[in-house]
Structure 1
Amino acid sequence: MTNPSASHDIFDPLLDVPPVAANAYGRLADCVKRLFDTTSDILFVQAEALLALEAAAASLARPGLAAVNVVTSPYGAYFGAWLRRGGAAVTDVVAEPGQPAEAAAVAAAITELGKVDLVAVVHAEAANGSLNPLDEVASLAREAGALLVVDAVASAGGHPLDIDALGIDLCVLGPQKALGGPTGLSMVAVSQRAFSAMADAARPAPSLLSLLDIKEAWLDRGRGALPGTPPPLEFRALGAALDRLEAEGLPARIARHQRAARASRAGLRALGVAPWIADDGRASALVTAAPVPEGIAADDLIDAAARFGVSLGRGFGDIEHRLVRFDHTGVRAAFPPVLANVVAYGAALEELGQRVDLGAAAAAVTAAWQKEG
């Protein structure tokens, strides 16, 4: 509780933060371009990544737009709804609950439509630990001559992501996952082809959901004037996260997340539990999903793990009560959290009457981590 008698002159680093200068704002954009080696323009959306995804849909949607939208979590479903709100005709390609999409299903949808203007897909799902076949979906979009929109909020920094080589026209990046940054702003890489498509869409102006408005207020004015009032704490946190990423190196950051995922999956199998995503090549490196056994409530499993000091995430949507998630994102892509996740999950199962091999699991995590060291 605030002390009403306290002096108003008390220094607090969270208060009275100097505003973000236009040149600093531009340097952050240039740093993102450099790290991801892209020629696309970088725009900042001054909100969490979910709003940036909505802005992407709102900026591109128009009556007559034919879109194929890959749905592997509630986030894909949201994106399709936002496109429809703007008048687009959307064909959803819905994967099995909690599983990655099949490229063949995307190809079939494109073939059936004949003409497709836009293909949208989430790269890696933090909601269920799945990894969608981005390379194949990108190839299908190119063959169809369609814009490619990618939700890389979770995957950026945890999986290879070559924006230009894949032909991604609009890529939403979230600092708060593998990039280890703040949650209150997000980044969007936009190609010139995507900007041209936005010019054909209806645009209520001014709008916080218009990426074209941001472009015109900032890029088209030579980056000398800031669009809106950038939140200084969030931008300084982003700068610190990018400095840390440059010091580590993007390839090393990706390798660290991949290592954490492989060690987690090795530990699960040694426990005697099959990972929720059976195929290692189709699993996200951001989280590892583990099943909730029949006869056990997800809440009971989560509560039991919490007694061992670990917070397991629950699933989302249709699989909310069928899996739990091990978080090994950002600074948690390290040996102690990975080991703790697996052992706490196993200990919780044991407490709830399941037979597991905790010693084998700990040994498997350790061996897998050391092998890649």
Structure 2
Amino acid sequence: MNTIQTGFVPLTREEYDKLGRLLAGLLRTKHTPVIIPGEAILGIEAIAASIAAPGRKFLNIVTGPYGTLFGEWLERGGAEVEELRVPFDEVVTAEAVEAAIERSKPQAISFVHAEVVTGGSNPAAAILEAARRHDLITVIDSVSAVGGEELPIDEWGADLVAIGAQKALGGPNGVSAVAVSPRGWDYIASNERAPRSSILSLLDLKPPGEGEAFRVPPYIPTLEARALIAALEAVAAEGLERVIRRHEAAAEATAAGLRALGLEGWQRDASRRSTLTTTVRIGGEERLKIEQPIGIVAPGDGELRGQLLRVNHFGANASRVGVETAIKTLAGLLQIDAAQAIEAVRAAWEARL
């Protein structure tokens, strides 16, 4: 019997438009986001390349390594960068942001929303409120926050927001998105250095207006785009609020398990921990210094290696079973019984959901 070979089917305009609608709904924006043909770090670098220029001044908040990297990209583009940095076991406060804005008088402000490397979550709504008072262009790396925390970008007045699919959304890492407000597009368009005919060009990828002729960019990865559509449909079916609550429950249950094991969280302010990743302070406990991930328990990255462990309870692992497995892993490393900690996990999970 002959097999019919259908071959590769490119992403259709209907699929492209559907993906744009799903992303806009997820972010609660009326403006179709830019679909980025790669992992979210590409979208973040594209933002920096599109807005950085001599004569532009940015306040860049650094609460982890990605904030440092974004500031370097802004400086590479010729921008002046004022840095507001805090220790990586803390997050920034709204009061510190307000004071830094008053002191440095920037045109724009940038920050990472949730830090999976450090396990902290910056007060995004409060930062954006301060930015609005001073009429600043706002740039947010919400790659690790989307789906795990509230992200109503039109309500918040955010101008450029990068998101990824591989964390809370449970999607692929080969395609991502950048949401851009009308004011954000004007800021990009006014920059003579904004790239064109480049993988870093947001202008080249700008979604079409109503009735505007448009060809789906052929370099958008088709299989990843279809996988993202499926992931976003799954989020919609579960309900975004429910997905966020599930991640909140995972964070609270993990914290309860850590307390029962006698372990200390890395983030000093427990109220500002990320809902996607709980970080564990190693201190002098040599048994917690692992070289490779064990399930969703992973060593720290870069300068934080040997200082903390990360429990990556996001996506499908934002579940009671996922948290319990991680707590058993930590108990095994410590060579102690996990029973009491598992009871604490279950009590915290049931109280939340």
Q: Does the TM-score normalized on the shorter chain lie above 0.5?
A: yes
2:36 to 33, 39, 45: 45
Counterpart in the other structure of 1:347 = 332
Q: Percent sequence identity over matched residues? A: 38
Counterpart in the other structure of 1:107 = 98
C-alpha RMSD of the superposition? 2.0
User: 2:115 is paired with a residue of what secondary structure?
Assistant: coil
- CA-CA distance at 1:194 after TM superposition: 0.5
Summarize deviations over 1:251-279 as a string: whole Å, max 9, x none: 00000000000000001011111211243
Q: Does 1:366 align with 2:346?
A: yes
1:132 to 94, 107, 122: 122
Q: Does 1:24 align with 2:15?
A: yes
Q: Which amino acid aligns with 2:9?
A: P
Counterpart in the other structure of 1:75 = 66
Counterpart in the other structure of 2:132 = 142
In 2, distance between residues paired with 1:347 and 1:185?
37
Aligned length: 350
- CA-CA distance at 1:206 after TM superposition: 1.2
Which segments of 5 or more consecutive residues in structure 1 lack a partner in the other structure?
1-8, 351-355
User: 2:33 is paired with a residue of what secondary structure?
Assistant: strand
Summarize deviations over 1:120-141 as a string: whole Å, max 9, x none: 0111111111001112211111
- CA-CA distance at 1:282 after TM superposition: 0.2
User: 2:120 is paired with a residue of what secondary structure?
Assistant: coil
Greater shift in the superposed pair: 139-148 or 252-261? 139-148
What is the TM-score of this pair, normalised by structure 2?
0.93
Question: CA 1:343–1:278 in 2, change beyond 3 Å: closer, same or farther?
Answer: farther
User: 2:50 is paired with a residue of what secondary structure?
Assistant: helix
Greater shift in the superposed pair: 205-214 or 96-105? 96-105
Counterpart in the other structure of 2:256 = 266
In 1, distance between residues paired with 2:67 and 2:9?
38
Which segments of 5 or more consecutive residues in structure 2 lack a partner in the other structure?
none
What is the TM-score of this pair, normalised by structure 1?
0.89
User: 1:63 is paired with a residue of what secondary structure?
Assistant: coil
Q: Does 1:327 align with 2:307?
A: no
In 2, distance between residues paired with 1:142 and 1:367?
41
> Within 5 Å, which residues of 2 pair with 1:232-243?
232-243=222-233
Question: CA 1:72–1:153 in 2, change beyond 3 Å: closer, same or farther?
Answer: same
Q: Which amino acid aligns with 2:26?
A: L
2:300 to 296, 315, 327: 315
- 8 Å CA contact 2:287, 2:334 repeated in 1: no
Q: Which amino acid aligns with 1:64?
A: G
- 8 Å CA contact 1:314, 1:321 repeated in 2: yes
Counterpart in the other structure of 2:88 = 97
In 1, distance between residues paired with 2:270 and 2:81?
31
User: 1:331 is paired with a residue of what secondary structure?
Assistant: helix
1:254 to 244, 247, 252: 244
- CA-CA distance at 1:101 after TM superposition: 1.7
Question: CA 1:295–1:266 in 2, change beyond 3 Å: closer, same or farther?
Answer: closer
- CA-CA distance at 1:160 after TM superposition: 0.9
- CA-CA distance at 1:35 after TM superposition: 2.5
